[in-house]
Amino acid sequence: MDEMFDPKALLKSMGRPPRQAPARPPGSSIDIEFSSAAPDAGPVLEARVDVTPRRPSGALASITAGGPVTEELRRLRARVRTLDTERGLRCLGVTSAIVGEGKTTIAVGLATVMAQEHGARILLLEADLRRPAVEDSLGLPRLPGLAEWLDSGGSTISMRRVMPAGFHLLPAGRSSDGRHAEMLGSERMKGLLASARSTYDFVVVDCAPVMPVADTIILQERIDGFLFVVRERLSPRETTLRALERLQAERVVGVVVNEHRDFLHAHYKYGYDRYL
Amino acid sequence: MTEPAADRPSILEYLQIPLRRPWHVAIPFVLVTVLAVVASLAITKTYTSSTLILVESDKVPQSFINEGTRDAAASRPRLQTIRQEILSRTRLERILDELNPYPERAGRAPLTAIVEGMRAAIAINVKGNDSFTLEYTHRDPKMAQAVTARLATLFIEESSQARKTQVEVTGEFIESQLTEARQKLEEKEKALRQYKESRMGRLPEQTGANLAILQRLQLEQQSVSDSLRAARERALLVERGMSSSTGASPGNDPVADLTAARNELAGLRARYTDEHPDVQAVQAKVARLEKQVSARTQSNQGDAQLEQARAEVRHLEGKLADVDRRISMFQGRVEETPRTEQELATLTRDYQQLNQNYLDLLRKKMDAQMAERLQDQWKTDNFRILDPAFLPERPVSPNRWLFLWLGMLGGLVAGLGASVAAEMMDPTIKSLREVEALLPFPVLAALPHLDAAVAARPGKVAHMKTHQASRARSSGSRE
């Protein structure tokens, strides 16, 4: 937490690769460092090094650029950590009312900044089986993920390791049939989440939007809390309110405003330009 | 971390609206401006010609015309009514006939509409107390000049004519009034005269004379009654004297005796001298008889005196009665005078009023005649063209700069309005403040606009790119 208020530390952690980042030789594909036995019939989670993206896409660039967005994400991280400490909140869903409000961006960003902390092991689980976007957002090639595992019935599931160290990703993958809601409500999914919770320090779940589909509603029982994303000038008031009604109120831990644009205040208010 | 929550949008939020929606501002702005410019180019050019007309006070010295005449005969129009006069339908129709400034509408549009259109093209501006400008706007500068000039001359001609007519009409009116007044006056005069005649002697102005007569009559009465008394006494005396002498006289006739005695005396004298005793005796007898006769004559004289005295008494009594009658008559007249005076006063008042009226009219008539003559001789025009209508060289409309500025202004207003309207109709959540007000959950973070954040820090992005590239090189590729 102290790091939040130490600009020099921020600067260091932003501009360079983390010191703890394991410099892996190009051949090692599977990292069994995090492999663990499932506590209650959950799958074994494996991790493997992913291809580092050649160039980060727009969202990731902004997140890692060290600008106001990053600062705001760190603030969010601090809040989430507080929630973890106070309520034992370990598995946090990120959702919103409709498509395009920035769930994936915020989930990726949050996971990234959380992984930047020393020794933190963070899993980003993509539960939006219909429109997977995390890999694209990170500039990674699409690989099989959650959907294939839920279909297959295997006992081991591979996590993709991306930068920074400690950031593991389970993408949505591609499902063969349309029973997304049933898949997310299945026992395998429940076991997977339990394993993830025990294996990682924190699990961020990138969920489907609330209004178009029921996936997130089904999933909400297995997730400790939700961050509800509202994008300024995109989220309709009525729709947002109705979406929040569908979620259990006690599971919504807070709102994250995305694309916040404050013409007259932004720059002098935070003073990044002068400060950095 | 977040802004303090407020219930209502702040002014700053409203100011942000055009910044957030620049297209909503720019498109109407450009459209309206272009439209205004196109309109200014498309609108027909119009030209305005104007003339300055001076309203002069009367040239005739005011002392020649008194107040009444000026009121009655002066036709100096007030500046306020000039507008109505110039814009009168008959006048405009006449000009339409003469000059036909709207040939394209003539015969097609109703005349009323054309007159209205012309009326709208005429402007009259009163300048100060004694001048006004007359303007006419038309698309043809020559026609603008012609119509302006014709309007001015026509107005001046007609107002002069109207003024003359008015003077004449006033004269006629006064004349008729005068005749009527004269008739009334004569009637009244006649009535008054008749009344005076019927009341002759009782008139107030005769009171003095009456009183004087009365006084004189009373004196007369006094003297007559004195004379009467004296006459009565004399008559009494005569009567008494008569009765004392009548008893002594004998019955024979002394006069005959006297005549015989005289005859005897005459005979005796013829024969005798006067010393003859017979003559002397007869002389004595004659003398005695003469005495007798004279005494007898005296007694006859007394009768006559008595008769005379009585006649005088009768005469005086009659005179006294006459005087008394006259006194009572004059007293009656004097007593009647106040009533007469009252009646007369009423009659006289009416008469005097009529007379005054008549005199007034007479004076006015003379004034009117004077004014008429002045009108003819002095040619007292009220209006003079100071600046004749000119040929306009530059169009007054359209004012292209004005169109441009107004278009830009209107466009800006429309743009701002459009942006605000769009913002109002937009159902989305607009701001952090709105999120906080709307949603019952805490706002944990507010991520700035990503593009803006990147754009604001190009150096950082460049740095990141090289950093990412180095990482990519160092980590290598597996797939």
A185 in contact with B at a CB cutoff of 8 Å? Answer: no
Interchain pair B429, A54: CB under 8 A:
no
Interchain pair A66, B460: CB under 8 A:
yes
Q: Which of these ranges, A59-73, B32-46, B241-255, B384-398, has the smallest mean pLDDT?
A: B241-255
Average pLDDT over residues A242-267: 82
Q: What is the largest CA-CA distance in chain B?
A: 243
Is the model's pLDDT at A85 over the cut of 70? yes
Q: What is the pLDDT of residues B86-126, one digit of tens each?
A: 888 888 888 888 888 888 887 788 888 888 988 888 988 88
User: Which tops the pLDDT comparison, A275 or B53?
Assistant: B53
Predicted complex ipTM: 0.77
The residues near B258 (Cβ < 8 Å, ≥ 6 apart) are: B286, B289, B290, B292, B293
pLDDT at B366: 85
- Cα distance between residue B98 and residue A137, in whole Å: 85
Candidates B424, B430, B450: best to mutate against A (most CBs of A within 10 A) is B450
Q: What is the pLDDT of residues A188-204, one digit of tens each?
A: 898 899 889 888 999 99
- Residue A264: its chain B contacts at CB < 8 A? 12, 15-16
Q: Which residue of A has its CA nearest to B431?
A: A232
Is the model's pLDDT at B461 over the cut of 70? no
Mean of pLDDT over chain B: 79
- Cα distance between residue A130 and residue A136, in whole Å: 14
Interchain pair A23, B474: CB under 8 A:
yes
Write down the domain spans for chain B.
11-28+404-473, 204-367
- Cα distance between residue B258 and residue B464, in whole Å: 209
Considering chain B, what percentage of its residues have pLDDT values greater than 90?
9
- Residue B452: its chain A contacts at CB < 8 A? 261, 266
- Cα distance between residue B154 and residue A190, in whole Å: 105
How far from B124 is each of B79, B111, B112, B137, B399, CA to CA, in Å? 10, 22, 20, 12, 21
- Cα distance between residue A256 and residue A83, in whole Å: 15
Candidates A24, A64, A233: best to mutate against B (most CBs of B within 10 A) is A233
Which among B360, B231, B404, B204 is positioned nearest to B306, based on CA atoms? B231
Average pLDDT over residues B451-456: 45
Which of helix, strand or coil describes residue B138? strand
Do A111 and A204 touch, CB atoms closer than 8 A? Answer: yes
Instruction: Please count the other Cβ atoms lying within 10 Å of the Cβ belonging to residue A55.
Output: 12
Do B435 and B429 touch, CB atoms closer than 8 A? Answer: yes
Interchain pair A69, B447: CB under 8 A:
yes
Q: How far is A25 from chain B (nearest CA, A)?
A: 8
Give me the domains of chain A, ranges plus CATH numbers: 28-275 (3.40.50.300)
Q: How far is A240 from chain B (nearest CA, A)?
A: 9
How far from A107 is each of A197, B210, B383, B452, CA to CA, in Å? 17, 143, 92, 20
Q: What is the 3-state secondary structure (H, E, C) of chain A?
A: CHHHHCHHHHHHHHHCCCCCCCCCCCCCCEECCCCCCCCCCCCEEEEEECCCCCCCCHHHHHHHCCCHHHHHHHHHHHHHHHHHHHHCCCEEEEEECCCCCCHHHHHHHHHHHHHCCCCCCEEEEECCCCCCCHHHHHCCCCCCCHHHHHHHCCCEEEEEEECCCCEEEECCCCCCCCCHHHHHCCHHHHHHHHHHHHHCCEEEEECCCCCCCCHHHHHHHHCCEEEEEEECCCCEHHHHHHHHHHCCHHHEEEEEEEEECCCCCHHHHHCHHHHC
Instruction: Strands of B263-326 (E only): list them.
Output: none
pLDDT at B249: 47
What CATH topology corresponds to B204-367? Helix Hairpins (1.10.287)
Placement of tokens 């004076």 in the chain? B363
User: Which tops the pLDDT comparison, B37 or B171?
Assistant: B37
Interchain pair B448, A266: CB under 8 A:
yes
User: Which tops the pLDDT comparison, B236 or B64?
Assistant: B236
Is the model's pLDDT at A27 over the cut of 50? no
Q: What is the pLDDT of residues B142-176, one digit of tens each?
A: 999 999 998 888 888 877 777 778 777 887 888 88
The CA-based angle B44-B50-B51, given to 5 degrees, is 165
Do B69 and B371 touch, CB atoms closer than 8 A? Answer: yes
Q: What is the 3-state secondary structure (H, E, C) of B71-101?
A: HHHCCCCCHHHHHHHHCCHHHHHHHHHHHCC
Average pLDDT over residues A146-160: 84
Do B200 and B422 touch, CB atoms closer than 8 A? Answer: no
Average pLDDT over residues A112-138: 88
Interchain pair A254, B431: CB under 8 A:
no
- Residue B467: its chain A contacts at CB < 8 A? 15-17
- Cα distance between residue B452 and residue B128, in whole Å: 65
Placement of tokens 């930047």 in the chain? A116
From the centroid of its chain, how far is CA B475?
A: 116
On whether the pTM is more than 0.80, the answer is no
Is the model's pLDDT at A28 over the cut of 50? no
Q: What is the pLDDT of residues B407-435, one digit of tens each?
A: 999 999 999 999 999 988 888 888 888 88
The residues near B250 (Cβ < 8 Å, ≥ 6 apart) are: none
Confidence class for position B470, pLDDT limits 50, 70, 90: very low
The phi, psi pair for A92, rounded to 5°, reads: -115, 125
Average pLDDT over residues B386-400: 84
Phi-psi bin for A131: left (phi > 0), alpha (psi -120 to 50), beta?
beta
* Total CB pairs under 8 A between chain A and B: 182
